[in-house]
Amino acid sequence: MSQITDTIDELELPSLTALDRCDSCGAQAYVRVTLASGDLLFCAHHGAKFKEKLAPTALAWHDETDRLTESNARNIAD
């Protein structure tokens, strides 16, 4: 369900829901970044945009952007 890079560990965190919103634009969040100072939530776009900058200091990177392609594949099949 989530993607993990080799340099970032993932903590066991609950799945993101439609109530979780991107801290940059307010869209539905699919990425949770855990930093020493707390969590940041991002949509797929902003998660990708800030990944290179935040990855070196992130404690965990929880990425559920694969849910976007799963739902699109279901819609096409219907």
The residue extents of the domains of the chain are 31-77
Q: Give pTM, 2 decimals.
A: 0.74
The pLDDT of residue 71 is 58
What would the pLDDT profile of 46-57 be if each residue is shown by its tens digit?
999 999 999 999
Percent of the chain whose predicted confidence (pLDDT) is above 70: 73
Residue 14 class from Cβ within 10 Å (0-12 exposed, 13-18 middle, 19+ buried)? exposed
